[in-house]
Amino acid sequence: MEIKHKSTPERSKKQLNHFLDVKFNNCAGNKGVRYETNSLDFKVRADGTMYAAHHVQMPSKQLILMVTAWDPQILGRWEAIVRFLVTEKSQHSGHKTVPGEVAQQQSDTLLPWRQHQSANGLRRQKRDWVIPPINVPENSRGPFPQQLVRIRSDKDKEIHIRYSITGVGADQPPMEVFSIDPVSGRMYVTRPMDREERASYHLRAHAVDMNGNKVENPIDLYIYVIDMNDNRPEFINQVYNGSVDEGSKPGTYVMTVTANDADDSTTANGMVRYRIVTQTPQSPSQNMFTINSETGDIVTVAAGLDREKVQQYIVIVQATDMEGNLNYGLSNTATAIITVTDVNDNPPEFTTSTYSGEVPENRVEVVVANLTVMDRDQPHSPNWNAIYRIISGDPSGHFTIRTDPVTNEGMVTVVKAVDYEMNRAFMLTVMVSNQAPLASGIQMSFQSTAGVTISVTDVNEAPYFPTNHKLIRLEEGVPTGTVLTTFSAVDPDRFMQQAVRYSKLSDPANWLNINATNGQITTAAVLDRESDYIKNNVYEATFLAADNGIPPASGTGTLQIYLIDINDNAPELLPKEAQICEKPNLNVINITAADADIDPNVGPFVFELPSVPSAVRKNWTITRLNGDYAQLSLRIMYLEAGVYDVPIIVTDSGNPPLYNTSVIKVKVCPCDENGDCTTIGAVAAAGLGTGAIIAILICIIILLTMVLLFVVWMKRREKERHTKQLLIDPEDDVRDNILKYDEEGGGEEDQDYDLSQLQQPETMDHVLNKTPGVRRVDERPIGAEPQYPVRPVIPHPGDIGDFINEVCSVGACVRRTTTPRPPPYDSLLVFDYEGSGSTAGSVSSLNSSSSGDQDYDYLNDWGPRFKKLADMYGGGEED
């Protein structure tokens, strides 16, 4: 077995024993087994671990020892050869091994020991072959493959044996970490090991013969990767943030820093220790904090933390493995930022003991003074925010102090208007404190109070009316010029010699006058309670009082006049018109009265008929119903239908009473059995006689007759118009006639416009798609054609186009231009479609199916123009 190990003189015995665990497994568990070596420099403990007994100078790279183990109980004895390999030299010559250090070793062979025969003749017994655990240091530099142990069966002298290993690291991932020589049984490690990747391996060794038959039972091989200090401690965070209150006592916890080491935590390689390297700033002491070397807890170690002096500390913390051994351990650092948090240990203090300000009278929400304070605590925190209070000097509450959230200043503000005539100055005592209470043991400073002197300046104040609104009562109708009252104002500026003058500001009816000097109110017109300017018997006017100060000031006052009613309005009869039957006892007229006055100058009313003319009382009578109503009815048995003006005298109950003679128009009419006026009676009652009524009826009949005659005449005229449409003169029927529209062509001057629009279109798509309505005269109708009576046509009509083409073919068409599309005067023109079945034939009948002789005599019947054509083409071929 071979184990490599870097020699470290400072390692403790407990640590070094972990690197070598040489045991005979067949003896494991038997406490009676004893070990000894053939060297005094190395010894073996009872658990089978080999160690150096004292400082040993290793002169060479290897040392071979013989280890013997025996068991007194069973008289067994075993031997093994161990070879130590030195992989690193110290600064001295050779290698020096300290006491307790486990040396690097290699066991060339492990023999299947058999018990020796003792003196009493007992024969040795065969035991199973075993391999002790194999310790392999990580990060070995080789060379590889590197032999670990040699496995050998005691039957290899008799037969050929093949060795193999199985398990993780051999034939299972990770593959081929370990290998074995199948013939010699030497097992190797093929590459450097990493304990942080895998700390141990469990393999099984097999021995078989050449036929694959098992020769020995499989044995277990335990391979432990021995940790080397190859990983630095790593902090979880590179920067840690913590805080501690200023003024904290020593031992106050601040924060915890943590570093992890990937090495074996059960050995010194993974045991991390902490320490503080530097502290910045080193005020008031260079050691304000300490750290627990094992837990990483940072606590205060000295008093004197003051945020106002040092707000933050930066502490460099170092973590070192090997239990903090700086010579052999690996280290790493992190930064701990410790913020000193503020406590209210500084009371606010005024920057001066007295303040002053000035305020005009009658002003509110005015800042009259700014109070400045100094507070060394954290700005814009409850420990810094100032709260101001007025302790004395303002019993009426004219002032308050508000805090400016930005500057922390106190703003003395007027919240209740001050009067110069009442207080010319104020002496305030103010106090300032923080929003948060002071820390324990901190007392308020005498500078936390101050005095504020506020001067009030006099301003020109407006005059005011002591009684506003002023109400007076008087009867309506007082004569013009009557003195009603004196409406005077008071000037509050007692210390200013000023004059007050009065004027009207609002007088809706222009009924009042005011004396500009003393404010005396007189009437300018008669006051009428029944006027539209009166609301609830009250007339309201507004007056202005202005002083002559600089600048002038004015005030307003309202005068209310309550008008007491007098009986100055006579009653009026209601209704003004009525209707009654010509015979009595059928119906009556209810009458009442209206009076613009109010009680007691209104009802009860007295209704009576005048004595003149006498016919009134002869024909009519009044019956009283109550104080406000009466009934008017006929006194006689019959009264001729018509309209009658009936005068009635109405008297009120005022003092003195007023009366009025009102006329009611009464329509007397014949009535039916229900007492209602008939239609004729109503007309008669309106004042029309019998002759007038008959004349009106005759006029109505004549008007109706004229309307009827007009309707009959319109019907006949419409019928005649439809009849005439069917009897059109043949000369007016354009369906079978050729109409002359205008010249079909012109001279050269006519070519200024696009004449191609008048030519026959090459395609008919645009015609087919055209909506119904007006179309060009050269378009043939495409839709359904009107059907007319079939007329004989001789000869069979042809196409007018063929006719013109034929004319052109004999040279009759003379072109006036060389353009590919000639103007319309020598080309085919379609003026209108003439229909089919015409008795007069068609121009298209000029066409002939042959180019021989053709009869054109029928053209003579078409007029002078076509007669020329008949003479031209009917005269013979010589033309």
Which of 163-177, 581-595, 625-639 is least confident? 581-595
Average pLDDT over residues 612-616: 84
**Does 117 or 41 have the greater pLDDT score?**
41
Cα 324 from Cα 10, distance rounded (Å): 13
Which of 45-49, 103-107, 500-504 is least confident? 103-107
Q: Are residues 608 and 632 in the same domain?
A: yes
Structure token pair of residue 14: 């407990």
* pLDDT at residue 43 in the model: 84
Q: Are residues 448 and 485 in the same domain?
A: no
Q: Tell me, yes or no, whether 849 lies in a domain.
A: no
Could you tell me how far CA 148 lies from the centroid of its own chain?
Answer: 74
Residue that finishes a domain, picked among 319, 341, 363 = 341
**Does 858 or 738 have the greater pLDDT score?**
858
**Does 241 or 824 have the greater pLDDT score?**
241
* pLDDT at residue 103 in the model: 39
The answer to whether the beta carbons of residues 799 and 844 sit under 8 Å apart is yes
CA angle, corner 592, sides to 589 and 598, nearest 5?
A: 175
**Exposure string (b/e) for 626-640, b if CB count within 10 Å is 16 or more?**
eeebbebbbeeeebe
Q: Is the pLDDT of residue 231 over 90?
A: yes
The answer to whether the beta carbons of residues 340 and 311 sit under 8 Å apart is yes
Average pLDDT over residues 737-765: 52
Structure token pair of residue 786: 């009107």
Residue 4's pLDDT band, with cuts at 50, 70 and 90, is very low
Q: Are residues 548 and 614 in the same domain?
A: no
Whose tokens are 């002298």? That residue is 157
Structure token pair of residue 763: 């395609």
Q: Tell me, yes or no, whether 801 lies in a domain.
A: no
Instruction: Render pLDDT for 810-827 as a digit per residue (tens, 0 to 9).
Output: 555 544 444 444 444 445
Q: Is the pLDDT of residue 623 over 70?
A: yes
Sequential DSSP letters for 155-203: TTTTS-EEEEEEEBTTTBSSTTSEEE-TTT-EEEE-S---TTT-SEEEE
Q: Are residues 584 and 560 in the same domain?
A: no
Cα 497 from Cα 548, distance rounded (Å): 9
Q: Which residues contact 156 (CB under 8 A, 6 or more apart)?
A: none
Q: Are residues 560 and 582 in the same domain?
A: no
Q: In a 10 Å sphere around its CB, with 0-12 CB exposed, 13-18 middle and 19+ buried, how is residue 420 labelled?
A: buried
* Mean predicted lDDT score pLDDT of the chain: 77
Residue 19's pLDDT band, with cuts at 50, 70 and 90, is very low
Q: Tell me, yes or no, whether 826 lies in a domain.
A: no
* pLDDT at residue 13 in the model: 33
Which of 39-48, 85-94, 310-319, 720-729 is least confident? 85-94
Average pLDDT over residues 82-92: 58
Cα 431 from Cα 437, distance rounded (Å): 15
Average pLDDT over residues 324-348: 93
Q: Is the pLDDT of residue 294 over 80?
A: yes
* CATH (domain of 194): 2.60.40.60
* pLDDT at residue 427 in the model: 94
* pLDDT at residue 620 in the model: 87
Whose tokens are 């930064």? That residue is 335
With 0.85 as the threshold, say if the pTM is over it: no
Whose tokens are 């401690």? That residue is 233
Cα 551 from Cα 461, distance rounded (Å): 10
Q: Tell me, yes or no, whether 805 lies in a domain.
A: no
Domain tally for the chain?
6
**What residues make up the domain containing 380?**
349-457
Which of 3-7, 176-180, 257-261 is least confident? 3-7
Cα 438 from Cα 589, distance rounded (Å): 97
> Torsion-angle region of residue 322: left (phi > 0), alpha (psi -120 to 50) or beta?
left
Which of 13-19's residues contact partners 24+ apart within 8 Å by CB, and which partners? 13/51, 13/99, 13/100, 13/101, 15/267, 15/268, 16/51, 16/100, 16/101, 16/102, 17/45, 17/49, 17/51, 17/100, 17/102, 18/102, 18/226, 18/267, 19/102, 19/135, 19/137, 19/226
Q: Tell me, yes or no, whether 779 lies in a domain.
A: no
Structure token pair of residue 879: 């033309």
Label each residue of 199-258 as H, E or C: CEEEEEEEEEECCCCEEEEEEEEEEEEECCCCCCCEECCCEEEEEEECCCCCCCEEEECC
Instruction: Render pLDDT for 668-715 as a digit per residue (tens, 0 to 9).
Output: 888 877 767 776 555 555 555 567 778 888 999 999 999 999 999 988
How many C-beta atoms surround the C-beta of residue 821 within 10 A?
10
Q: Are residues 600 and 622 in the same domain?
A: yes
* DSSP H or E run through 269: none
| Sheet with 410-414: strands ordered across | 367-371, 410-414, 399-403
Q: Are residues 581 and 676 in the same domain?
A: yes
Residue that finishes a domain, picked among 685, 703, 720 = 685
Q: Are residues 638 and 673 in the same domain?
A: yes
Instruction: Render pLDDT for 545-599 as a digit per residue (tens, 0 to 9).
Output: 998 888 888 889 999 899 888 888 888 888 989 888 887 766 788 889 888 888 8
Residue that finishes a domain, picked among 200, 226, 252 = 226
* DSSP H or E run through 112: none
Q: Tell me, yes or no, whether 284 lies in a domain.
A: yes
**Does 289 or 829 have the greater pLDDT score?**
289
* pLDDT at residue 731 in the model: 54
Q: Are residues 386 and 438 in the same domain?
A: yes
Average pLDDT over residues 357-371: 92
Q: Tell me, yes or no, whether 526 lies in a domain.
A: yes
Q: Which residues contact 844 (CB under 8 A, 6 or more apart)?
A: 797, 798, 799, 800, 801, 802, 803
The answer to whether the beta carbons of residues 827 and 835 sit under 8 Å apart is no
The answer to whether the beta carbons of residues 196 and 288 sit under 8 Å apart is no
What's the half-sphere exposure (Cβ side, CA atoms, 13 Å) at 203? 32
Q: Are residues 640 and 579 in the same domain?
A: yes
Which of 192-201, 229-238, 870-879 is least confident? 870-879
Could you tell me how far CA 375 lies from the centroid of its own chain?
Answer: 42
Q: Tell me, yes or no, whether 715 lies in a domain.
A: no
354-360 and 449-457 beta bridge pairing: parallel
* pLDDT at residue 641 in the model: 83
483-486 and 520-523 beta bridge pairing: antiparallel
* pLDDT at residue 744 in the model: 53
Residue 112's pLDDT band, with cuts at 50, 70 and 90, is very low
Instruction: Render pLDDT for 123-153 as a digit per residue (tens, 0 to 9).
Output: 333 444 556 788 999 998 889 999 988 888 8
Q: Are residues 506 and 579 in the same domain?
A: no
Q: Are residues 57 and 144 in the same domain?
A: no
Helix/strand/coil percentages in the chain, nearest 5: 15, 35, 55
How large a percentage of the chain has pLDDT more than 90? 34
* pLDDT at residue 109 in the model: 36
The answer to whether the beta carbons of residues 835 and 788 sit under 8 Å apart is yes
